[in-house]
């Protein structure tokens, strides 16, 4: 079994690869557990050397079909498609977002189709597919109306995966992720970057700028739980998903004020004093279109896990990184 992870050099891709290596097997096309012989990490940036013969790296342009043909071979039974241009960058550079988020996804699905093996494809979608007037709690049946190019691009691929699955080309699964916090590393161009920055930077002794109102409500999930959800989405039986392959992942509905209060309980007021409140209309415009909570009854019935609370997420980040 060859498992392909696009975005394999990213922090979620690296965590997912580690989890799969520990697990050692996944369900194959007919539902039986198969040993993972190889994990192929695909990314524009070369992934680090894992010093593990089971891990291969393919570096290059995800929109290059030749690269995908090389990575996805006849032994590929599973694809985790995480690669994407993030929200802020997709809004700034429309053509880049379309090329990486839509064109590359279509090419990936076509390569999977050409192999004739009907691999399981788990796609990382986003809360950003929603927008416009929304109920307090978004339901599975709530129509998507993205108010950003990134959200639109994710919604397009969701529809493609449903149709490629209907036609029998792939066994597709779409996981709509909440905002992930706390992300390690440095800030990126995502509109949601502050959701990690206001925790990560103060814990590291740095000033963090929060660009939204403290009462802004976010739907959040920890990196560890996101990885668990990816694996569980892969393992769900096709019959349990039916014709609708899109699942809203479990998360926590918290305000930014709640997040800062949780940080203060974990690390103290000296840490939270490093947060500066400076609203950015560009970021607020994007974030305001995202739902603050959604109904996850279906996700829970399918066995997808949920975080306990945001304080526990911060504590896990502190343990992992040695912060504070």
Residues taking part in catalysis: 150
Token pair of 269 as six digits: 């007021």
Phi, psi of 199 (to 5 degrees): -105, -50
Assess contact for 150 and 90: CB atoms under 8 A: yes
Give strand ranges (E) for the chain. 2-6, 25-27, 33-35, 38-43, 55-59, 76-81, 120-126, 171-177, 179-180, 208-210, 217-221, 246-248, 252-255, 275-277
User: Based on the number of CB atoms within 10 Å of its own CB, is 224 exposed (0-12), middle (13-18) or buried (19 or more)?
Assistant: middle
3-state class (DSSP) for residue 51: coil
Centroid of chain to Cα 194: 16
Spell out the residues 6+ positions from residue 318 whose beta carbon is closer than 8 angstroms to its own. 203, 266, 267, 324
């Amino acid at each position: 079994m060859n498992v392909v992870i696009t975005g394999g050099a990213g922090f979620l891709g690296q965590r997912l690869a580690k989890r799969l290596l520990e697990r050692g097997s996944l369900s194959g096309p007919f539902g039986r557990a198969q040993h993972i012989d190889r994990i192929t990490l695909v990314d524009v940036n070369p992934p680090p050397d894992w010093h593990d013969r089971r891990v291969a790296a393919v570096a290059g342009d995800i929109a290059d079909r030749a690269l995908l043909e090389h990575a996805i071979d006849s032994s590929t039974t599973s694809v985790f498609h995480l690669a994407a241009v993030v929200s802020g960058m997709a809004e700034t550079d429309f053509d880049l977002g379309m090329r990486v988020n839509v064109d590359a996804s279509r090419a990936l699905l076509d390569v999977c189709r050409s192999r004739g093996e009907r691999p399981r494809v788990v796609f990382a979608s986003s809360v950003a597919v929603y927008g416009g007037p929304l109920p307090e709690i978004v339901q599975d049946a709530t129509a998507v109306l993205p108010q950003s190019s990134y959200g639109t691009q994710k919604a397009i691929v969701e529809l493609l995966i449903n149709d490629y699955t209907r036609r029998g080309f792939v066994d597709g699964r779409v996981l709509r992720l909440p905002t992930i916090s706390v992300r390690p590393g440095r800030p990126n161009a995502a509109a949601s970057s502050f959701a990690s920055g206001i925790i990560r930077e103060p814990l590291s002794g740095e000033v963090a700028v929060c660009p939204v109102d403290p009462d802004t409500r976010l739907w959040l999930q920890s990196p560890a739980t996101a990885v668990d959800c990816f694996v569980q989405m892969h393992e769900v039986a096709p019959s349990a998903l039916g014709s609708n392959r899109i699942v809203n992942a479990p998360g926590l509905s918290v305000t930014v004020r709640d997040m800062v209060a949780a940080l203060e309980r974990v690390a103290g007021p000296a840490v939270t004093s490093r947060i500066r409140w400076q609203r950015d209309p560009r970021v607020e415009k994007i974030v305001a279109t995202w739902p603050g909570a959604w109904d996850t009854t279906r996700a829970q019935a399918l066995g997808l896990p949920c975080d306990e609370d945001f304080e526990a997420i911060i504590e896990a980040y502190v343990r992992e990184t040695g912060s504070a």
